[in-house]
Chain A
Amino acid sequence: MTGIAVSTTINGDTIEYLCQPDETLLDVLRDRLGLTGAKEGCGTGDCGACSVIVDDRLVCSCLVLGAEAEGRRIETVEGMAHGDQLHTLQQKFLEHAALQCGICTPGFLIAAKDLLAKNPDPSEEEIRFGLAGNLCRCTGYDKIVRAVQDAAHVMKGA
């Protein structure tokens, strides 16, 4: 098939793919690379379910073209755990039952990872503002905030 040849780094691995000019990074991740952690909630940058980190910036992968990934460094939820060892945030989301249906969870995990990388000791308000680009229709957010607070506490001590 023809397409734009893209060479990029995803979760530390060099990845090459062909994509069409109108294909989003979310389409590429899910449909071409089998990385289905990022979800399409709205497809218009409102819900954050497709959040990934590109060159240390949290973005909605539905608002990035696959072609734009050339030469970039992308982090997705699939890169958070090390083998069977869950990332602290993942572990704390489980312990605090910070999810119900789970559609928003990969986006929340990536957004929380980005938040704690930039602000290891956030206040509750900073967590709520920092995660405001991620929508959850199940939890009411409180358990998510508690999980992130607990993870921040553990990660600081690590």
Chain B
Amino acid sequence: MRYIRPLSIEDAVGQLAGSAGMAAILAGGSDLLVRMKGGFVEPDLIIDIKSIAGLGEIRETAEGFSIGAAVPCAVLGENAALKKAWPGVVEAAKLIGSKQVQGRCTIVGNLCNASPAADSVPALVAAGARAVVAGPSGKRTIPVEAVPTAPGRTSLAKGEIIEAILLDSQAPHSGDAYLRFIPRTEMDIAVVSAGVNLTIDAAGVITAARVALGAAAPTVLLVAEAAEALIGRKLDEAALERLAKVCAGACRPIDDKRGTIEFRRKVAGVLARRAATTAYARAGGK
């Protein structure tokens, strides 16, 4: 096993692309080191990306925010501008693990670990976040929902690294929210979860919406019909009922020790309702 700490993304990509055996990217390590400890992976090469300039920063750009791949989730919670613009995204990131884990874990790691139950992912998808992928043939930007392809699998090709997550500036009169169900009060894996981002007009009518569900299918679900159930209406009881029904129907969950299919479907609807209510209030809707 080799450990390297490249200083540029180009060097990291080159090392990753040129590696013969199994190579792993290390940022926070809160998934990688656990898998190594458990004997599930034994990388030939560990590429620590924390010394690459810019990857440890949250930058405010003309379009919004660029969150580097090595920024710990705790830092997201300490960024007042990000918290104000995207409270749902920050809440979701802050739900991951304990304070000790918060000091290390990253949203890019959460995304690339590709767990269906990843907390930050539905919130990022609802927010329309994009991932900047650096690879041997240059950089490309893809929607966050295009990254996970199956539990534990991503669409990234050999040699590709996600270097940042981009969040646009939040549109005026918009709000986002994320909720998950766990049987404890904190530090658990989502049984099912929902992220909602919406925009309203002066009359309180929803003009744009994105609804994403977590732990409801092999990968995060962006539910277009749920957005359609909201757009063009105020968030009244009828709209909420329709949202819950559509979300329950869109789920393709599994039965496991944490919840049944029936339970996940029901709770997906409930959480979508509640997240939409919070997002609507944050947008200034009454």
User: Which residues of A pack against B, CB within 8 Å?
Assistant: 4, 20-22, 24, 43-46, 48, 51, 54, 57-60, 62-65, 67-68, 70, 111, 114, 129-130, 132-134
* Interface size grouping (class) on chain B: 20 to 34
- Cβ of B98 under 8 Å from chain A: yes
- The interface residues of chain A lying within 8 Å CB-to-CB of B1 are 20-22
Tell me, rounded to whole Å, the shortest Cβ–Cβ distance linking B24 to chain A.
11
A21–B2 CB distance below 8 A: yes
Give CA–CA (A111, B50) in the complex, Å: 24
Tell me, rounded to whole Å, the shortest Cβ–Cβ distance linking A44 to chain B.
5
- Cβ of B48 under 8 Å from chain A: yes
Give CA–CA (A113, B38) in the complex, Å: 30
User: Which residues of B pack against A, CB within 8 Å?
Assistant: 1-3, 5, 26, 28-30, 33-34, 36-38, 46, 48, 50, 72, 74, 97-101, 103-104, 186-187
Give CA–CA (A130, B36) in the complex, Å: 28
Give CA–CA (A22, B29) in the complex, Å: 12
Which of B34, B100, B103: most chain A CB closer than 10 A?
B100
B30–A130 CB distance below 8 A: no
Known: A22-B36, A65-B29. A111 touches B104 (CB 8 A): no
Known: A22-B1, A44-B38, A64-B29. A59 touches B48 (CB 8 A): no
Tell me, rounded to whole Å, the shortest Cβ–Cβ distance linking A69 to chain B.
11
- The interface residues of chain B lying within 8 Å CB-to-CB of A48 are 98, 100
- The interface residues of chain A lying within 8 Å CB-to-CB of B29 are 63-65, 68
Which of B33, B48, B98, B187: most chain A CB closer than 10 A?
B98
B48–A67 CB distance below 8 A: yes
- The interface residues of chain B lying within 8 Å CB-to-CB of A51 are 100
Give CA–CA (A133, B187) in the complex, Å: 8
- The interface residues of chain B lying within 8 Å CB-to-CB of A24 are 33
Least CB separation from B75: chain A residue: A57
Of A54, A65, A133, the contact of B33 (CB 8 Å cutoff): A65
Give CA–CA (A62, B46) in the complex, Å: 16
A59–B104 CB distance below 8 A: yes
A63–B72 CB distance below 8 A: no
Give CA–CA (A19, B79) in the complex, Å: 35
A45–B101 CB distance below 8 A: yes
Q: A20-B1, A22-B1, A64-B29 are in contact. List 4 more A-B contacts (CB 8 A).
A: A63-B33, A63-B104, A65-B33, A132-B98
Known: A58-B100, A133-B98. A68 touches B37 (CB 8 A): no
Of B2, B37, B100, the contact of A59 (CB 8 Å cutoff): B100
B33–A68 CB distance below 8 A: no
Tell me, rounded to whole Å, the shortest Cβ–Cβ distance linking A25 to chain B.
10
- The interface residues of chain A lying within 8 Å CB-to-CB of B38 are 44
Of B5, B28, B37, B101, the contact of A133 (CB 8 Å cutoff): B101
- The interface residues of chain A lying within 8 Å CB-to-CB of B28 are 63
Top 7 closest A-B pairs, CB basis? A133-B98, A21-B3, A57-B103, A60-B100, A133-B100, A21-B1, A44-B34
List 24 interface pairs A-B (beta carbons < 8 Å), by A numbering.
A4-B3, A44-B34, A44-B37, A44-B38, A45-B100, A46-B98, A48-B98, A48-B100, A51-B100, A57-B72, A57-B103, A58-B99, A59-B103, A60-B101, A64-B104, A67-B3, A67-B5, A68-B29, A111-B99, A114-B99, A129-B186, A132-B98, A133-B99, A133-B187
